[in-house]
Amino acid sequence: MRSLVILISGRGSNLQALLEANLPVDKITVISNNPQAEGLAIARQYHVDTLVINHRDYPDRESFDTALAEKIDACQPKLVALAGFMRILSDAFVAHYTERLINVHPSLLPAFTGLNTHARALQEGIKIHGCTVHFVTSQLDHGPIVIQAAVPILADDNEETLAARVLQQEHRIYPQAIRWFMQGQLELTGNLVKVHQANTRDIALHSPGLQE
């Protein structure tokens, strides 16, 4: 069974993009560490199974990650996708899902790892920004890159306008990366990802920005 587990903490914007993408999966389960996450309501609208594992119920990160992994493993997922999951995962958790754990990050990695990527991009005065889908490793935001999309930084951009334009691209590339994985088109060799049967232009997308 091609089962997908999606982990969320908040509003569920990328979750909704995934649920609307008609992915080649047999079952989707959404798990949140936040009982108030808006994404849970979105999942229910799409008749997707949901689970809540409140991290506040556990004394430390390791015990929460252990409980989370038990719930995930019960779903027998082929892939686990982080979609706004605001928890730093333990090394043991990441190792347990080696090459089966994927994330979308709002920058062109390896630039601007971590938080506040849009503000930092504006402060640095760079001209091109974007987003990256990558496999998760123990090194934060440094896993093998599957696909990226770039947007220009415009003269009148602020953090909110830039974030909105990047998010639009996240909604494009995250479903594509998961589709490739589920169809067996991704090959990992060290830190490199080869995408079989895909055009080069599909792996690195460029958004003109002014036209969207």
| In a shared domain, residues 29 and 54 | yes
Strands 79-82 and 49-52: unpaired
User: What pLDDT, on the 0 to 100 scale, is given for residue 206?
Assistant: 64
| In a shared domain, residues 1 and 74 | yes
Closest CA to 53 of 31, 77, 74, 29: 31
Dihedral angle, C-alpha 8, 131, 178, 138, nearest 10 °: -70
Give the residue numbers spanning the domain of 171: 103-212
pLDDT band (50, 70, 90) for residue 208: low
Burial of 161 (0-12, 13-18, 19+ CB in 10 A): middle
Indicate if 129 belongs to the active site: no
pLDDT band (50, 70, 90) for residue 209: very low
Both tokens of residue 37? 């996450």
Q: What percent of the chain has pLDDT over 90?
A: 92
What global pTM score does this model have? 0.94
Q: Out of 55, 105, 118, 134, which one is annotated catalytic?
A: 105
| In a shared domain, residues 168 and 68 | no
Residue 173's CATH number:
3.40.50.170
User: What pLDDT, on the 0 to 100 scale, is given for residue 207?
Assistant: 59
> pLDDT tens digits, residue range 77-110?
999 999 999 999 999 999 999 999 999 999 999 9
Count of positions (residues) in the chain: 212
When pLDDT is averaged across residues 116-122 and rounded to a whole number, the result is 98
